[in-house]
């Protein structure tokens, strides 16, 4: 297998895609990417507040549903109220997600690496990546704690919550993608594949 090069422009869209893939990789169940994105953006206060709102809404809905059924109320009315409460909870999550993305966008635009090319060189033994004039990193595959393959790219983790995004479109050929997958798997680093879901 040959060494491979890859390059792409680091944009706010790439940041958003990488964060969503990261959150999906961490999810144990169906991802609540709105809530998880807040966690990923280190917005612990927002994430905790949102999870509390969702938990309280769910518990209150269940308690109300059970007490209403016991009191003999119309099940259709109860179902409508339950759906309304869940919709409000979902709406809060969507609004929070929009605010978190807006904040990330604002912070991203102030980053020196924003809208700059990220270049990669990958071989069976090491990974090199850099942004001209900003940073250069070369490390063995064994230095990654895990590699996750999503439907549109790789997440290479240097720590549990710190990763590098390498989209498939950065490669010139599909053979390069297959070789990089093989490099990662042969290195002994934990490798995980996650499926596609809508974002």
What 3-state DSSP class applies to 36? helix
3-state secondary structure of 155: strand
Pair 191, 145: CB distance under 8 Å: no
Q: What is the pLDDT of residue 54?
A: 62
Q: Say what the pTM is.
A: 0.67
Sequential pLDDT tens for the chain (199 residues)? 689 999 999 998 898 888 888 877 876 443 444 444 544 444 444 455 555 556 666 677 667 666 766 666 666 666 777 777 777 777 776 676 677 667 777 888 888 889 999 999 999 999 999 998 899 999 999 999 999 999 999 999 999 888 999 999 999 999 999 999 999 999 999 999 987 644 3
């Amino acid at each position: 297998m040959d060494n491979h090069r890859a390059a792409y422009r680091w944009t706010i869209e790439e940041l958003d895609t990488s964060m969503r893939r990261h959150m999906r990789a961490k999810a144990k169940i169906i991802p609540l990417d709105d809530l998880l994105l807040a966690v990923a953006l280190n917005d612990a206060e927002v994430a905790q507040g949102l999870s509390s709102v969702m938990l309280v809404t769910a518990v209150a809905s269940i308690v109300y549903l059970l007490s209403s059924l016991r009191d003999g109320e119309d099940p259709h009315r109860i179902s409508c109220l339950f759906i309304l409460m869940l919709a409000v909870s979902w709406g809060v999550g969507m609004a929070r997600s929009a605010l978190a993305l807006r904040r990330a966008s604002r912070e991203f635009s102030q980053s020196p690496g924003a809208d700059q090319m990220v270049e990669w060189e990958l071989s069976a033994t090491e990974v090199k990546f850099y942004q001209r004039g900003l940073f250069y990193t070369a490390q063995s595959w064994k230095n990654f704690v895990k590699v996750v393959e999503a439907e549109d790219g790789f997440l290479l983790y240097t720590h549990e919550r710190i990763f590098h995004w390498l989209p498939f479109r950065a490669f010139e050929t599909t053979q390069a993608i297959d070789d990089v997958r093989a490099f990662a798997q042969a290195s002994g680093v934990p490798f995980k594949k996650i499926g596609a879901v809508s974002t």
